């Protein structure tokens, strides 16, 4: 079998690996697989024991629900009930793709998958390897899968990231190359009747609203524009401290740190001007999708041990950048993206 997709063709060797992965999954194993967003750590969604292994491997609390990955929108009714017409429209338009719908679950969906909630998260991934794996697993089967990282850490966007982080307990890592989107899916809940954005991601809210013809409520709009670590749970985080600052504040901060002989790397949007032994500039793309594609890999690379501090120049504000800002805010020890008038001490006062 060969499968043609935008990412290319599945060759004979990859096909054999996918078949082997499906056998491991049927036997209750846990397999890491590529999606267009990030790599997932999957188990047969109908096998609670296998699903519980995912939580052990990740070190993730058992009440955090997993997304169920299905092969086709036509399978929606097998996993969810009372599906609003608006949710069906989004599925029709954006699947396969980086959109997760939270819907009322079918009673058979294991508690191990939903964290005991009455809802279930569903999506059809847009990656030829993920789709071929679902096909090989069997008709109407599904993969419960979170991102294939340890709990609270940066999601993996290559097979090498997965192998480096989750050596123990994973039956197999399928390599599908670097993930095209690079950030997780957008999550929209329909459980309360009207659509609610739970996580910005690979598809912009504007694109979803254009199809729905109505606004999607965004609880994240109420989140603080500024924070210092401790005021929000750390998530998607490197171990090296990360500060997200306006270009002006970043210049002052980097100078201050270099004077203290700290080893600083700047994730900048403008081309590098001058490096010093203590200050390295790492240029990020100025376009939102390209920035998103690079972000996690860049954070992993810069987190490898040499630097004491990662400073990121705050990207522009706008719907296209919403998911990037969300992830930077969660990863940062200090998130202060706008220039603040009284700059005296952002660390003690404004943040
Ligand atoms: O792009 C993605 O969504 C990736 C790929 C692998 O599909 N998956 C991913 O999974 O990011 P995870 O587990 O790292 O993040 C899924 C988020 C979690 O915050 C979880 O709490 C939420 O989705 N979620 C899953 N099911 C839910 C439900 N029934 N109700 C509310 N939130 C849910
Ligand atoms: Mg995750």
Among 160, 351, 335, residue whose Cα is nearest residue 241: 335
How confident is the prediction for the chain on average, in pLDDT?
89
Place of tokens 């899916």: 185
User: How many Å apart are CA 295 and CA 289, to the nearest integer?
Assistant: 10
User: Rounded to 5 degrees, what are φ and ψ at 129?
Assistant: -70, -40
User: Rounded to 5 degrees, what are φ and ψ at 173?
Assistant: -115, 115
Q: Answer whether 0.75 is exceeded by the pTM.
A: yes
pLDDT digits (tens, 9 = 90+) for 312-348: 999 999 999 999 999 999 999 999 998 654 444 444 4
Nearest 5°: the CA angle 241, 247, 251 is 70
Q: Please tell me the residue having the least CA distance from ligand 1 atom 10.
A: 146
User: Rounded to 5 degrees, what are φ and ψ at 289?
Assistant: -65, -40
User: Is the distance from CB of 79 to CB of 105 less than 8 angstroms?
Assistant: yes
User: How many Å apart are CA 198 and CA 324, to the nearest integer?
Assistant: 15
Closest ligand 1 atom to the C-alpha of 39? 6
pLDDT for position 112? 97
User: How many Å apart are CA 127 and CA 47, to the nearest integer?
Assistant: 23
- Higher-confidence residue: 19 or 2? 19
Q: Please tell me the residue having the least CA distance from ligand 1 atom 24.
A: 65
Residues in the ligand 1 pocket, defined by CB under 6 Å? 35, 37-38, 40, 64-67, 98, 100, 102, 114, 117, 119-121, 125, 145-147, 184-185, 187, 198
pLDDT digits (tens, 9 = 90+) for 251-266: 999 999 999 999 999 9
The number of residues in the chain equals 351
pLDDT digits (tens, 9 = 90+) for 38-72: 999 999 999 999 999 999 999 999 889 999 999 99
User: Is the distance from CB of 158 to CB of 63 less than 8 angstroms?
Assistant: no
217: three-class secondary structure by DSSP: strand
State which of 184, 189, 237 you would mutate to test the pocket of ligand 1, scoring each by most atoms of that ligand within 8 A of its C-beta: 184
pLDDT digits (tens, 9 = 90+) for 146-192: 999 999 899 999 999 999 999 788 999 999 999 999 999 999 999 99
67: three-class secondary structure by DSSP: strand
* 155 CA from centroid of ligand 2 (Å): 6
Burial class (CB in 10 A: 0-12, 13-18, 19+), 23: middle
């Amino acid at each position: 079998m060969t499968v043609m997709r935008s990412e290319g063709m599945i060759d004979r060797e990859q096909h054999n690996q996918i078949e082997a992965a499906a056998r491991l999954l049927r036997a209750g194993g846990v397999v890491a697989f590529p999606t267009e967003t990030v790599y997932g750590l999957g188990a047969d969604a109908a096998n609670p024991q296998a699903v519980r292994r995912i939580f052990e491997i990740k070190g993730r609390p058992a009440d955090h629900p997993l997304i169920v990955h299905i092969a086709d929108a036509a399978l929606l009714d097998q996993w969810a009930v009372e599906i609003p017409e608006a949710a069906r429209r989004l599925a029709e338009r954006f699947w396969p793709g980086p959109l997760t719908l939270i819907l009322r679950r079918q009673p058979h969906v294991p508690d191990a998958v939903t964290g005991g909630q009455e809802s279930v998260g569903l999506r059809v991934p847009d990656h030829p390897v993920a789709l071929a794996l679902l096909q090989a697993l069997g008709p109407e089967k599904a993969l419960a899968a979170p991102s294939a990282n340890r709990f609270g850490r940066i999601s993996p966007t290559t097979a090498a990231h997965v192998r480096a982080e989750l050596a123990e307990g994973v039956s197999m890592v399928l390599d599908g190359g670097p993930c095209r989107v690079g950030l997780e899916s957008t999550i929209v809940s329909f459980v309360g009747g009207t659509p609610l954005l739970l996580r910005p991601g690979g598809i912009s809210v504007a694109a979803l609203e254009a199809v729905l013809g109505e606004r999607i409520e965004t609880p994240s709009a109420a989140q603080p524009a500024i924070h210092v670590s401790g005021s929000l749970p750390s998530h998607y985080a490197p171990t090296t401290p990360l500060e997200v600052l306006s270009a002006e504040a970043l210049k002052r901060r980097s100078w201050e740190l270099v004077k203290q002989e700290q080893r600083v790397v700047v994730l900048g949007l403008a081309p590098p001007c001058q490096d010093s032994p203590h200050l390295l500039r790492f240029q990020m793309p100025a376009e939102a999708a390209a920035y998103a594609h690079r972000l996690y890999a860049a954070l992993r690379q810069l987190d490898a041990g040499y630097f004491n501090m990662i400073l990121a120049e705050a990207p522009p504000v706008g719907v296209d950048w919403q998911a990037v800002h969300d992830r930077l805010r969660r990863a940062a020890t200090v998130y202060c993206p706008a220039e603040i008038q009284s700059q005296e001490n952002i660390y003690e006062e404004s943040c």
